[in-house]
Chain A
């Protein structure tokens, strides 16, 4: 993004003087960063305090002694392990399915000519524009009719399809150079082979961006799981945490330990794939 500074003395000197003038920016940005991160730091610190210490007035900043037991107690309060597996399976299956189904449809919209393409694309766009709550009642009805309430299918299946993902990848395919695909086509490959062997590998940055976004949204999704899965053993972590908080549990250190465990995987994914994340958001600028 920023041009590499040449390692000559003059540029280094210029750079140093520039850094000198930039200190007010650093002060402001650090201040903001501290305010932003403080709640999360407080969460970590509280999760290591005993209940008695957490409600003590005046509050201690660092735990008097680091108490790991809250992390064990969470598992007693809710089936956290089960919920962890539920969440991971839900997020991974939704992400995998979306990547496959969206990229197929996106490629067809971008590169195959067929009657009715415009109309079908309008249908996709319509889904994109409607607020998510309008789908919920009938979706619930479908799950009920199929006997899928309190099941993994309920968590995964409606989330496998995405107009947003199709739209994002279509834009991506349209921006790819056409020569390689044309060459493959002239060699006699059918459109699916061209898509799978040539276009899809080129679209990897787009797929990664969609993948991390979908994973995050699925991991954090709350409303749909709350509606369809009321059995704690079938819930993902988000709904589990909500019910834990609702279950008159007032031991905040335990709640903090639970929230941290629930959030940790997403934070790890975010830190590891930050570039794709930010690209995806900047590229699409849209959410769910």
Chain B
């Protein structure tokens, strides 16, 4: 703080033009149309604000509190300090589910290059039929996950599934994809990629379309070929979008629930009988099972609190690392 003040008094001459600019900017902002009746402001915000406070903001505080408590058989909570977290650290089921979720996230990220290829192709100048392609690639995004799971369970079916039939045609013996502990994570990740490729493609396509054509013209005047243009124009200018897509993908994959839950069983009782259950179970599935099936609310709360911290930490790390590869124009 003190350094700031000294700098300001020491070099007034250099700062004046900058100051004047700031002043102008400030006045411009001041002029922006704004109502002055503050009561209208409160009134318009109140319905959404109160709802969000009651159903979202306060629950976060409560969940954090719950994670330090144990739930009695007849309701009521008792404070047990860090006990839930200590149990969590020693719980192999938790580590297994965390590992499964990590693998799922990593595999789904492999879909981003795929989305990138599709977006680049769809962005080619003069290409016809882009609307139809876009519709097709986007269909899995809008399809209800419950329906997606049913369809893929059928494709993956060990006895009558079309996948194993196709594999046997080329001499490979397929397995029971959704109940084989060795393959379940990959089987699920394939569906995850299938469901997200179109979504990421749309994000990346929007990024590609915002790159001004002049850059390419300049590059081709300098003699850069198609490939060269991709690496020295497209990729750097698309890096903010790529970064954003990656961050979002990771946040969403770490919270994966419906898809895996449904492919493995459809309900908790059913899923628990699946031999591949522990190899497929994700962190949020573990939370769901503990909180709403085993009635260990405090433990469930601790699981999601840890997940929250993990997501925040990973996102923060990515924002740190972005300086190395993301170029903002």
Q: Which residues of A contact B (CB under 8 A)?
A: 1-2, 15, 18-19, 22, 25-26, 28-29, 32-33, 36-37, 39-40, 42-43, 46, 54-59, 101-102, 104-105, 107-109, 111-115, 117, 120, 123-124, 126-127, 129-142, 157-158, 160-163, 166, 178, 181-182, 185, 190-192, 194-195, 216, 219-220, 222-223, 227, 237-239, 241-246, 248, 252, 255-256, 258-260, 262-263, 266-267, 270-271, 274, 277-278, 281-282, 285-287
For the residues of B in contact with A, the DSSP-based class is helix
Task: Assess whether A285 is in contact with B267, with CB atoms less than 8 Å apart.
Answer: no
Task: Assess whether A137 is in contact with B155, with CB atoms less than 8 Å apart.
Answer: no
Chain A residues within an 8 Å CB radius of B145: 220, 222, 238
Task: Assess whether A278 is in contact with B134, with CB atoms less than 8 Å apart.
Answer: yes
Within 8 A of A (CB), among B48-86: 48-49, 51-60, 62-63, 66
Chain A residues within an 8 Å CB radius of B198: 36
Q: How far is the CB of B32 from chain A (nearest CB, A)?
A: 7
Within 8 A of A (CB), among B103-125: 117-118, 121-122, 124-125
Chain B residues within an 8 Å CB radius of A117: 41
Q: How far is the CB of A68 from chain B (nearest CB, A)?
A: 19
Task: Assess whether B308 is in contact with A130, with CB atoms less than 8 Å apart.
Answer: yes
Known: A134-B60, A223-B258. A104 touches B47 (CB 8 A): yes
A-B pairs with CB below 8 Å: how many?
301
Those 8 A-B pairs whose CB atoms lie nearest each other, nearest first: A259-B147, A114-B38, A161-B51, A246-B266, A138-B59, A246-B267, A282-B206, A114-B41
Within 8 A of A (CB), among B141-163: 142-155, 157, 159-160, 162
Q: Which of B47, B55, B153 has the most CB of A within 10 A?
A: B55
Q: Complex Cα distance A35/B110, Å?
A: 17
Which among A39, A243, A278 is the interface contact of B267 at CB below 8 angstroms?
Answer: A243
Q: Complex Cα distance A188/B39, Å?
A: 17
Chain B residues within an 8 Å CB radius of A161: 48, 51-52, 55-56
Task: Assess whether B202 is in contact with A104, with CB atoms less than 8 Å apart.
Answer: no
Known: A39-B151, A55-B159. A131 touches B307 (CB 8 A): yes
Question: Quick check: is B192 within 8 A (CB to CB) of the other chain?
Answer: no
Question: Quick check: is B20 within 8 A (CB to CB) of the other chain?
Answer: no
Chain A residues within an 8 Å CB radius of B305: 134
Q: How far is the CB of A178 from chain B (nearest CB, A)?
A: 4
Task: Assess whether A25 is in contact with B126, with CB atoms less than 8 Å apart.
Answer: no
- Provide a sorted-by-A list of 8 A–B residue pairs whose CB atoms are within 8 angstroms: A39-B151, A108-B40, A114-B41, A127-B57, A129-B312, A136-B59, A238-B146, A262-B146
Closest A-chain residue to B56, C-beta based?
A127
Chain B residues within an 8 Å CB radius of A223: 257-258, 288
Q: Complex Cα distance A248/B231, Å?
A: 52
Q: Which of B57, B117, B199 has the most CB of A within 10 A?
A: B57
Chain B residues within an 8 Å CB radius of A15: 126
Q: Complex Cα distance A46/B153, Å?
A: 13
Task: Assess whether B288 is in contact with A163, with CB atoms less than 8 Å apart.
Answer: no
Closest B-chain residue to A25, C-beta based?
B121
Task: Assess whether A114 is in contact with B144, with CB atoms less than 8 Å apart.
Answer: no
Known: A137-B291, A137-B301. A40 touches B62 (CB 8 A): no
Q: How far is the CB of B257 from chain A (nearest CB, A)?
A: 6
Task: Assess whether B139 is in contact with A40, with CB atoms less than 8 Å apart.
Answer: yes
Task: Assess whether B44 is in contact with A107, with CB atoms less than 8 Å apart.
Answer: yes
Task: Assess whether A46 is in contact with B154, with CB atoms less than 8 Å apart.
Answer: yes
Q: Complex Cα distance A36/B151, Å?
A: 13
Closest B-chain residue to A98, C-beta based?
B48
Q: How far is the CB of B118 from chain A (nearest CB, A)?
A: 6
Chain A residues within an 8 Å CB radius of B148: 39
Task: Assess whether A263 is in contact with B137, with CB atoms less than 8 Å apart.
Answer: no
Chain A residues within an 8 Å CB radius of B254: 131
Q: Complex Cα distance A248/B300, Å?
A: 28
Chain B residues within an 8 Å CB radius of A142: 54-55
Task: Assess whether A29 is in contact with B35, with CB atoms less than 8 Å apart.
Answer: no
Known: A36-B136, A57-B165, A245-B262. A191 touches B40 (CB 8 A): yes
Task: Assess whether A54 is in contact with B147, with CB atoms less than 8 Å apart.
Answer: no
Closest A-chain residue to B159, C-beta based?
A55
Q: Complex Cα distance A26/B130, Å?
A: 10
Task: Assess whether B66 is in contact with A255, with CB atoms less than 8 Å apart.
Answer: no
Question: Quick check: is B284 within 8 A (CB to CB) of the other chain?
Answer: yes
